[in-house]
């Protein structure tokens, strides 16, 4: 049974049907955040410190999310802080969020009078999906799926992602199974530490898409929309229209074009033979199930 609905009020605005973007790293959550941020009535954040600290705590120690309503309150409070519309608030946002919102000065990216919907597209939000649903039972989730080989290629070029792959990340305090790293058992710890980076990237992608499949089975259709990253590239207008229909409001497609347009098939040029082979081996089952050839 779900807990009683808690109505969060931010800047005098009731938070109704907030939108959360879920995806594996480098699977397009930033693209959707850009589109939503530039849509009328939306206030969407991504990567605010108040949220990411909580998200990564939950990702590293999944048991925290099962400790009653404490985790729910913590995440709800973090989002409430992130969504505050105050002078200088955007200065606390990471550069990608500020750029996506077109922020050039010290003022906020939105005004209170223009906001009707809130949302968040912070990295690795997928590991907090169950807590988000408890905190906001009427939430709308949009999850993105991308070819795991392209994901691995982009992850391997991202120092922030690679920092999670240090051997020290698996310690005596690490909980298993660990969806964040894609390691199911402590018995696999030494194998993970010795695994090439490409394999670790594939494990993270594989684990994330398995979580996405679970959400697809458990959430009702009116609360979850699954999009393919490749559709954002080949049919951005149709993807934006599908998102608009799902959310019941117009979503801008401008953010899906230009220099930020999705890139498809980058792994063919950027993954070396052995790395491509390893990613294909680790993620074979999911790549096949999702139709990536």
Paired strand residues for 13 = 10
Spell out the domains of the chain, with CATH numbers in brackets: 1-146+221-262 (3.40.50), 147-219+264-293 (no CATH)
Digitized pLDDT (tens) for each residue of the chain, 293 residues in all: 454 456 899 989 999 999 999 999 999 999 999 999 989 899 999 999 999 999 999 988 888 888 778 999 999 999 999 999 888 778 788 888 888 877 776 777 888 888 999 999 999 999 999 999 999 999 999 999 999 999 999 999 999 999 999 988 888 778 999 999 999 998 999 999 999 999 999 999 999 999 999 999 999 999 999 999 999 999 999 999 999 999 999 998 877 776 678 899 999 999 999 999 999 999 999 999 999 98
User: What local confidence, expressed as pLDDT, does residue 1 receive?
Assistant: 44
Residues 177 and 131: their CA atoms lie apart, in Å, by 18
**Token representation of residue 109:** 């990216």
E strand map for the chain = 9-10, 13-14, 19-23, 42-45, 117-120, 140-145, 224-228
User: Shortest CA distance to 265 belongs to which of 234, 227, 225, 226?
Assistant: 234
User: Shortest CA distance to 17 belongs to which of 262, 222, 272, 226?
Assistant: 222
Q: Is 242 exposed, middle or buried (0-12, 13-18, 19+ CB in 10 A)?
A: middle
């Amino acid at each position: 049974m779900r807990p009683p609905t808690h109505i969060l009020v931010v800047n005098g605005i009731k938070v109704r049907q907030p939108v959360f973007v879920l995806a594996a790293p480098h699977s397009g959550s930033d693209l959707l955040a850009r589109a939503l941020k530039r849509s009328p009535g939306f206030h969407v954040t991504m990567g605010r410190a108040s949220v990411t600290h909580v998200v990564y705590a939950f990702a590293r120690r999944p048991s925290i999310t099962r400790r009653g309503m404490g985790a729910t309150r913590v995440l709800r409070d973090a989002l409430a802080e992130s969504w505050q519309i105050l002078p200088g608030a955007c200065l606390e946002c990471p550069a990608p969020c500020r750029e996506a919102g077109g922020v050039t000065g010290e003022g906020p990216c939105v005004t209170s009078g223009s906001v009707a919907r809130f949302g968040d597209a912070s990295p690795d939000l997928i590991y907090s999906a169950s807590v988000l649903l408890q905190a906001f039972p009427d939430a709308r989730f949009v999850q993105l799926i991308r070819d795991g080989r392209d994901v691995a290629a982009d992850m391997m070029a991202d120092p922030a992602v690679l920092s999670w792959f240090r051997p020290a990340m698996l310690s005596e305090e690490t909980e298993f199974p660990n969806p964040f790293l894609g390691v199911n058992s402590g018995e696999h710890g030494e194998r993970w530490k010795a695994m090439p980076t490409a394999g670790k990237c594939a494990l993270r992608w594989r684990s994330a898409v398995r979580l996405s499949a679970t959400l697809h089975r458990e959430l009702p259709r009116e609360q979850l929309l699954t999009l393919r990253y490749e559709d954002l590239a080949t049919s951005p207008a149709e993807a934006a229209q599908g998102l608009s229909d799902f959310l019941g409001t117009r979503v801008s497609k401008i953010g899906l074009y230009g220099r930020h347009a999705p890139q498809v098939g980058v792994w063919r040029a950027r993954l070396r033979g052995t790395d491509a082979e390893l990613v294909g081996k680790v993620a074979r089952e999911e790549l096949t199930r999702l139709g990536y050839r």
